[in-house]
Amino acid sequence: MYWSKAFIPTLKETPQEAESISHRLMLRSGLVRMLISGVYSYLPLGFRVLSKIENIIRQEMNACGAEEFLLSALQPEELWVKSGRDEEIGEVMFRFIDRRGRRLCLGPTHEEIVTDLIKNNVFSYRQLPLILYQIQVKFRDEIRPRFGLVRSCEFIMKDAYSFDLDQEGLNRNYKNMLEAYKRIFKRCGLDCLVIEADPGLMGGSLSHEFMVPAESGEDIVLRCQDCGISVSYLDEKLARCKKCNEKLEKLNTIEIGHIFQLGTKYSKIFQANVLNQQGSQSAIIMGCYGIGVSRLIPAILEQNNDANGITWPREVAPFEVVILPLEAGSSKIYETGENIYNDLRKSGLEVLFDDRQEQAGVKFKDADLIGLPLQVILGKNFIKSGKAEIKLRRNGYSSLVEPENIRQEISKLLS
């Protein structure tokens, strides 16, 4: 991508609406813009990051044997009345009446919808186990939207649902999902805590939350300084670790994922049964598994930044490399930069070429701000030595490389 043709509206100053680090960086680096409180548009850079995250999730979900589908965002209110969650969820759900007088809502989550679907289409234990997942926009009329994408009224969620004949099956799927979640968050460059949690509104028995320590986090987690075991602040009134009696440290965290063993809560209500081997009706055992996909962006930013801007983990960076031809007067520099650009792209890398007629300082500042993992700099050093400078955004490490060896050097650095 040529920077001059891209829509990357970076901001030199911090918009007053932003308080948390991640929110500031999202606005300054041109990832998102607010439409109204709690509602954001993803600009090209933000959209790229989102796609990267979604693809990591897809890969790991598919590896678990989950199959992707897409449910409707528009839902009939009656399914919520049927499950009894209608009153519980209350005003958090956007509701309205259409021209035919039907009572509709915008889906805040999809247990009702998916259980209804399965009830009508799965009849035999032979069709189990089954795991379905979707990546979709959810709507919640939050009491107070906050910190940009951390708590918004329209957000993207990955929600998966597992269906098993028995508890053993659920345990297996649940464990696989838990491991998949760990891999997903690690690949996103996140250092996260896994805690046993209260199933709350979802119902069911066992549940785990995935929490990212971050200054602006809204949830407090207690972590044992010795064994590292973490517990929810709400659950635990004790001041010392149950296991090793060490002191617990208080951490502010952002919840990025939550998985639940639902058991038969929904299948019983909706009579989602299958015939088992004995030929009798058996309520399907369910699990559900959520990831706040759009929320991962601020979570990643909270953990990957420095004074100059973002330091993207490689797998979720909007591009992998930015090329900075400085010394605008030199056509040799520009041409060399363009050759490197084409060369790198041919090798499958995602590259941003800063062809703008800007001062070196502007290019450096913008490059650091948007935080792509690698910078290829062509300037004074190139004129002197004929070599390009390759610089790692994260730690500032840099080396001079012959233009023809750049591709090789970069693949080494990125691996």
**Measured from the CB of residue 349, what is the shortest distance to RNA in angstroms?**
21
**Measured from the CB of residue 370, what is the shortest distance to RNA in angstroms?**
9
Positions touching RNA (CB under 7 A) are 10-20, 23, 34, 36-38, 92, 109, 140, 142-147, 149-152, 155, 157, 200-202, 210, 216, 218-219, 255-258, 290-292, 294-295, 308, 326-329, 357-362, 364-366, 368-369, 377-382, 389
Q: Do 104 and 139 contact (CB within 8 A), yes or no?
A: no
The DSSP result for 111-154, as a single string, is HHHHHHHHHHH--BGGG-SEEEEEEEEEE---SS-BTTTTB-SE
**Strands 285-292 vs 248-263: parallel, antiparallel or unpaired:** antiparallel
Alpha carbon 198 to its chain centroid, in Å, reads: 22
When the beta carbons of 73 and 122 are compared against RNA, the nearer one is: 73
Which amino acid appears at position 289 of this protein? Answer: Y
Which element (helix H / strand E) includes 353? strand 351-353
When the beta carbons of 21 and 117 are compared against RNA, the nearer one is: 21
**Measured from the CB of residue 199, what is the shortest distance to RNA in angstroms?**
9
When the beta carbons of 200 and 228 are compared against RNA, the nearer one is: 200
When the beta carbons of 201 and 244 are compared against RNA, the nearer one is: 201
Phi, psi of 241 (to 5 degrees): -65, 135
- Walk across the sheet containing 388-392 and list its strands: 351-353, 321-325, 374-378, 388-392, 398-401
Among positive and negative, which fits the CA dihedral 160, 166, 172, 178? positive
Q: Could you tell me which of 222, 179, 169, 218 has the C-alpha nearest to residue 197?
A: 222
**Measured from the CB of residue 411, what is the shortest distance to RNA in angstroms?**
22
When the beta carbons of 142 and 343 are compared against RNA, the nearer one is: 142
When the beta carbons of 52 and 151 are compared against RNA, the nearer one is: 151
When the beta carbons of 274 and 287 are compared against RNA, the nearer one is: 287
Q: Could you tell me which of 207, 209, 202, 180 has the C-alpha nearest to residue 114?
A: 202
When the beta carbons of 125 and 266 are compared against RNA, the nearer one is: 266
Q: Do 140 and 93 contact (CB within 8 A), yes or no?
A: yes
**Measured from the CB of residue 124, what is the shortest distance to RNA in angstroms?**
31
Which amino acid appears at position 113 of this protein? Answer: I
**Measured from the CB of residue 25, what is the shortest distance to RNA in angstroms?**
11
Encoding tokens for residue 287? 């699990």
**Measured from the CB of residue 365, what is the shortest distance to RNA in angstroms?**
3
**Measured from the CB of residue 227, what is the shortest distance to RNA in angstroms?**
25
In angstroms, the CA 375 to CA 321 distance is 6
Q: How many helices (H) and strands (E) does the chain have?
A: 12, 23
**Measured from the CB of residue 387, what is the shortest distance to RNA in angstroms?**
9
Q: Do 249 and 237 contact (CB within 8 A), yes or no?
A: no
Phi, psi of 288 (to 5 degrees): -135, 150
When the beta carbons of 190 and 369 are compared against RNA, the nearer one is: 369
